[in-house]
Structure 1
Amino acid sequence: MKAVRYYGKERVQIDDIPEPQLKPGTIKIHPAFTGLCGSDLHLYYDGPESGGINPNKPHPISGETLPVVFGHEFSGTVEAIADDVDTDIKVGDNVVVEPLMVCGECAACKSGNYNVCPKMGFIGINGRGGGMSEHIVVESRWVHAIGDLPLDQAALIEPFSVAYHAVRRTGVKAGQTAVVGGAGPIGLLVAQALKAKGVKVIVSELADIRKKAALDTGVADIVVDPSKEDLAERVHKETNGVGADVAFDASGVGVVVHQLLASLKPEGKLEIVAIHAKPLTINVSEELTGGEKSMEASLGYANDHEDVIKLIHDEHIDLSKFITDKIKAENIVKDGLEELHNNPAQHVKILVQL
């Protein structure tokens, strides 16, 4: 079968590889659409170590090293189900995959927080196939039916689950106010999750195209350009001098974290969703203790996909507004990876079809 495989820094290619076979406890899927994300960009431009791949040592769960099939944000159609799988999913159903591999034995896995399993890896990054292939076989626990949701929109359920997980952790409620720092793909999806909960959303963003996207998609009530006005002052003005209940860092930039902390009300909470490439210094006494503010971080998702799928159906959320292009796998470098690298502000999500 055909598959896009990742070989290392700035090396991807389409190969003919053996078709995976159905095993006990698994479901075979024909992938439809695969989203490109920041992890893919880091792998391509910064090398395998940036994505947690040791090119000289097999992954502890998959047993694989490079090359690996690319793509972890994907949707598809069920082709076959192993006889021992107890599921309501049927052959022909459209599904998404929670693209994880975990040990199932550590304290995190046993408590249900498998997203922080110390051996955790990603299908489509650390082995076990990927979305950019004609077929993939996945453990049944990771496969989720999507009903009549279009397959292109369904490819965004994985990043939406990242956003939803972060929002869920804060406990934010309808009628409260949230500030989202950064209107990239995750920032916009965080804002979408907040809007679906009835939260007032203020988005902070510098890029004109992303500011427009936040407004045009309807996920932001207010968009602030922090280079032109003081974010904290605007947030306090919009909240009658109180400040925001919660804030989300979806930028990965230190200065944004400080702006968000200043925007919070006393006892407000900042959730770090972005990955920070550089260490961050916080003045604990002034930025946290003085207002009894709290700061925490979220990683991926755990037991969120089913809730996200239900939310999309219940709230009639249109994820197509976040899809900025669909490309063929043979053009993944020029029209996908290079485009996102060179023009990141012009895109939310690019989907790849084999």
Structure 2
Amino acid sequence: MRALVMRGFGDVAVEEVPDPVPGPGEVVIDVACVQPSVTECMLLAGEPIAMHTVLAERLAAGPTRFGGHEFAGVISAVGPGAPGDLAIGDRVTAVETATCGRCAACRRNRPDACPSPSVLGFTGPGAFAERVLVPARTVVRVPDGVPAAHAAAVQPLAGAIHGHAIAAVRPGDTVLAIGAGVMGVLHTQVARRGNAGLVIATGRSEAKRALAERSGAGLVIDATREDVVARVLEATEGIGADVVFECAGEFEQAARCVRRGGTIVMVSVLPSHAPAPLALLRERSVSVLHPRSGAGGYAPGSSVFEHALRLVHRGDVDVQGLISHRLHGVEALPEALEITRYKSKHAALGPAQVDLFDWETRA
């Protein structure tokens, strides 16, 4: 099959690689649609963010496959011992994080504390390929009527749901999303359709600010021309936002916009040694939280991925508005990385998606 191969930072190409074969408890999925994340683009380029050292060690050992955890496809092979309700032809996506199931935390039913989870595309090959191998327990069915493009965009929405859950947004809370990129817009939508009162969003691009407004922000601030902190304080009668979702690398700004005793959820990917206004956070008793990764859930009848797909299926959250660039064929993966990393240069609202086949017409 064809897949993206990395030979060095900034050096990627689509090459022939062996087809994956499912082992016990595994399935192979033919990739119908995949999109790169900003984090993957930064790591592939060699930026010193989380996971950079791990990736550098892998490259030192030779060419490697990296990235591809936001995707949707069709099951093409099922290994022995996989759940019996999974079948060839099922339309699915998969949770990116799989706990080991063996450590002390997993044995005590605390998978969120597993010290060595596997992460699709990070600790092993992902969906930047024609086919991807995943643990069967991570597979999530896509409801009928949800296009592959929308299912491929569900992983960031699941992350936004985790962020709101950990922040425990209460009825009437003022919520601020700093940045009107993918995560800022998704946090805006989740807030608007949840318990939030006033929802504020900031953005530098006129198109992205318009998208944030369509997504339900009651106040949209032009971060290039306006004083964000002053506008937030003005809108909240000097109090500040109850919950701030920092989605643009503006930690200092988030600390000055949040109210005393409020909460900042760190969504953006920061450099390994990013400065932090610790004295200000301590003086104002501000909580700084980080959303969890993976599926998990908050209700016994639904995982976060299932809930995210349900929101998309019902039309409660619009992911189509974030899809502005669609490419075709596995050979287009390097171009998708370029567009996603430099979205403003290409006037992209979200990641560039790559369609490998149409699962609506495939026999």
TM-score, L = length of structure 2? 0.83
Distance 1:336 1:57, change over 3 A: closer
CA contact (8 A) 2:241 2:259 kept: yes
CA contact (8 A) 2:28 2:132 kept: yes
What's the counterpart of residue 136 of structure 1? 132
Deviates more, 1:110-119 or 1:225-234: 110-119
Distance 1:301 1:191, change over 3 A: farther
Deviation, 1:232, is 3.3
Distance 1:174 1:322, change over 3 A: farther
What's the counterpart of residue 350 of structure 1? 352
What's the counterpart of residue 270 of structure 2? 276
Deviates more, 1:166-175 or 1:118-127: 118-127
Residues 27-61 of structure 1: CA deviation (Å, up to 9, x unaligned): 221111111111221232117986443454599xx
Question: For residues 181 and 111 of structure 1, what CA distance do their matches in structure 2 show?
Answer: 37
Tell me the amino acid that sits aligned with residue 228 of structure 2.
Answer: L
What's the counterpart of residue 297 of structure 1? 290
Matches within 5 A, 1:194-213: 194-199=191-196, 200-213=198-211
What's the counterpart of residue 152 of structure 1? 149
Deviates more, 1:234-243 or 1:3-12: 234-243
Distance 1:281 1:10, change over 3 A: closer
What's the counterpart of residue 330 of structure 1? 331
CA contact (8 A) 1:114 1:302 kept: no
Q: Quote the sequence identity (%).
A: 25
Matches within 5 A, 1:29-40: 29-40=29-40
SS at match of 1:30: strand
Question: For residues 39 and 344 of structure 2, what CA distance do their matches in structure 1 show?
Answer: 14
Tell me the amino acid that sits aligned with residue 136 of structure 2.
Answer: S
What's the counterpart of residue 5 of structure 1? 5
Question: For residues 29 and 344 of structure 1, what CA distance do their matches in structure 2 show?
Answer: 32
Matches within 5 A, 1:201-240: 201-216=199-214, 218-240=215-237
1:67 aligns with 2:41: no
Deviates more, 1:41-50 or 1:306-315: 41-50
Question: For residues 43 and 75 of structure 1, what CA distance do their matches in structure 2 show?
Answer: 22
Tell me the amino acid that sits aligned with residue 209 of structure 1.
Answer: A
Tell me the amino acid that sits aligned with residue 9 of structure 2.
Answer: K
CA contact (8 A) 2:58 2:64 kept: no
Residues 225-281 of structure 1: CA deviation (Å, up to 9, x unaligned): 2443333332233334443221111112xxx32322332233211111112114223
Distance 1:318 1:139, change over 3 A: same
What's the counterpart of residue 257 of structure 2? 263
Tell me the amino acid that sits aligned with residue 22 of structure 2.
Answer: L
SS at match of 1:337: helix
SS at match of 1:349: coil
Question: For residues 79 and 319 of structure 1, what CA distance do their matches in structure 2 show?
Answer: 27
Distance 1:232 1:35, change over 3 A: same
SS at match of 1:68: coil
RMSD (Å) for aligned C-alpha atoms: 2.8
Question: For residues 7 and 58 of structure 1, what CA distance do their matches in structure 2 show?
Answer: 7
Question: For residues 121 and 64 of structure 2, what CA distance do their matches in structure 1 show?
Answer: 11
Distance 1:87 1:311, change over 3 A: farther
Distance 1:97 1:344, change over 3 A: farther
Deviation, 1:315, is 5.0
CA contact (8 A) 2:193 2:316 kept: no
Question: For residues 7 and 115 of structure 1, what CA distance do their matches in structure 2 show?
Answer: 33
Question: For residues 350 and 188 of structure 1, what CA distance do their matches in structure 2 show?
Answer: 16
What's the counterpart of residue 168 of structure 1? 165
**Count of equivalent residues:** 342
Distance 1:263 1:101, change over 3 A: same
CA contact (8 A) 2:97 2:293 kept: no
Question: For residues 170 and 307 of structure 1, what CA distance do their matches in structure 2 show?
Answer: 18
CA contact (8 A) 2:255 2:277 kept: no
What's the counterpart of residue 313 of structure 1? 313
Distance 1:47 1:180, change over 3 A: closer
Question: For residues 98 and 187 of structure 2, what CA distance do their matches in structure 1 show?
Answer: 24
What's the counterpart of residue 120 of structure 1? 117
Question: For residues 107 and 321 of structure 2, what CA distance do their matches in structure 1 show?
Answer: 37
Deviation, 1:3, is 1.8
CA contact (8 A) 1:204 1:224 kept: yes
SS at match of 2:162: helix
TM-score, L = length of structure 1? 0.85
Residues 155-181 of structure 1: CA deviation (Å, up to 9, x unaligned): 111111222211110010343220011
Deviation, 1:154, is 0.6
Residues 11-39 of structure 1: CA deviation (Å, up to 9, x unaligned): 22222222212222122211111111112
Deviation, 1:187, is 1.7
Tell me the amino acid that sits aligned with residue 293 of structure 1.
Answer: V
CA contact (8 A) 1:247 1:270 kept: yes
CA contact (8 A) 1:165 1:301 kept: no
Distance 1:116 1:221, change over 3 A: farther
